[in-house]
């Protein structure tokens, strides 16, 4: 993890861990998101499945899919270094606006369908 400096800013929390903002050392402060997953309590078969999913994620290259740059593994955790997406959650955006225009909804759905199609064909 000498390649990245964690900022301490938490971008989000989920069931499997939290996501923190970080900067890549030597890259003009390029911001990335680092998700640390605790794996010391996961069964070996589930861990292998997770590793396969991560390998698939590393191969994804699509404008509507967050890019996974690096993976660091230790005996008790996996750190996923991803493209930093700072636009917020779609759900939060819709909740704040109370309305979502038909045009905005169709555009969001179209982008999701393009990403889903890419995933299913690769």
35 annotated as belonging to a binding site for a ligand = yes
Q: How far is CA 11 from CA 80, 87, 89, 109, in A?
A: 14, 11, 11, 24
> Residues comprising the binding site?
35
Binding residue numbers for ATP: 35
């Amino acid at each position: 993890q000498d390649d990245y400096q964690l900022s301490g800013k938490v971008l989000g929390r989920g069931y499997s861990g939290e996501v923190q903002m970080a900067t890549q050392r030597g890259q003009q402060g390029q911001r990335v998101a680092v998700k640390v997953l605790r794996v010391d309590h996961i069964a070996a078969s589930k861990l292998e499945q997770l590793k396969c999913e991560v390998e698939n994620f590393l191969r994804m290259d699509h404008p509507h899919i967050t890019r996974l740059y690096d993976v660091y593994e230790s005996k008790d955790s996996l750190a996923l270094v991803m493209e930093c997406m700072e636009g917020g959650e779609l759900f939060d955006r819709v909740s704040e606006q109370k309305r979502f225009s038909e045009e905005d909804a169709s555009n969001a759905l179209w982008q999701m369908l393009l990403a889903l199609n890419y995933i299913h064909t690769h």
